[in-house]
Amino acid sequence: MDSFATNAQKSFHIRSNSLPSKPHPVVDEVDEHLCRLKACEATSSSSSLCQKLDGLQDLHDCIEKLLVLPLTHQAIVDNKSVDELLEGSLKLLDLCTMAKDMISQMKECAHELESSLRRRRGDDIVVDVQKYMNSRKMMKKAIHKALKGMERTSSQKSNENSEIVSLLKETEAVTYSTIESLLSFLAGPKLASKMNRWSLVSKLMQSKRVACKDGNEVEMVDAALYSIINHKFDILVQGEDVQNSLKKLELCIRDIEEDLESLYRRLIKNRVAFLNILNY
């Protein structure tokens, strides 16, 4: 009996050691945040963008906790994808910097136009609107060029990667995708350059109706300003509508700017933590 009991205990001990270990709570937390962000619908509304940016901040707060765990250190040091992770974190910072610059530029232009509309009347309004639209045209061109040249980051897990590395890559991908959506939001729809004047206005007014429904303040302002330039509506009446739209746009930009700045600080902190792991 004693021999049987001893063998049974040894057998149980071996089976216990062979069972998969339970994931660390922080790993589960990161995975939950990723699932929530992926489940968010890809819309062009400012409220949806702010929601995703808030979610990204929470995700990167969890990544900060993940990067201090010994199991993460071991997973990163032993993995062949370490250079990809390092390069990916740098690309995110570059992309975030571009978005911050575009938002700063748009905020400044919107504020200047809103101030001009309060002071001026008649044809002077058209001059200021045209100046704003020229700036928007350059911004659109820069953003669309950047979006076109971006290399998409895959969020699929690789069998060669550990769970920790896969989570880091998925975090990079969902962050990249969200900032990309933000840039698309700031740029607005890409309109064909060969459109005639009235079809252009019609297209933009259609965009305005959709924008009102979706809460896209950028498209609402663009559509209203194009209608002023083309004298489709009374300048003074439309000027008042534009002022209201610009105020909404400035509030929207302010919220996005704050969220993006907070995300940027987290990206820097986590990149530093990542570099510290490699230099340990």
Greater confidence, 150 or 152?
150
Q: Where are the alpha helices (DSSP H) in the chain?
A: 2-18, 25-39, 46-66, 70-77, 82-119, 123-149, 163-187, 197-214, 217-229, 235-278
pTM here is 0.79
**Confidence (pLDDT) at 153:** 44
Label residue 243 by pLDDT band (50, 70, 90).
Answer: confident
Structure tokens, 33? 């945040």
Contact 112, 136 (CB under 8 A): no
pLDDT digits (tens, 9 = 90+) for 164-211: 999 999 999 999 999 999 999 998 766 544 444 444 445 444 544 444
For the chain, what is the mean pLDDT? Answer: 79
Label residue 98 by pLDDT band (50, 70, 90).
Answer: very high
**Confidence (pLDDT) at 146:** 85
Of the candidates 212, 205, 172, 168, the one whose C-alpha atom is nearest the C-alpha of residue 44 is 212
**Confidence (pLDDT) at 231:** 66
**Confidence (pLDDT) at 19:** 39
**Confidence (pLDDT) at 82:** 86
Of the candidates 275, 279, 266, 273, the one whose C-alpha atom is nearest the C-alpha of residue 92 is 266
Label residue 236 by pLDDT band (50, 70, 90).
Answer: low
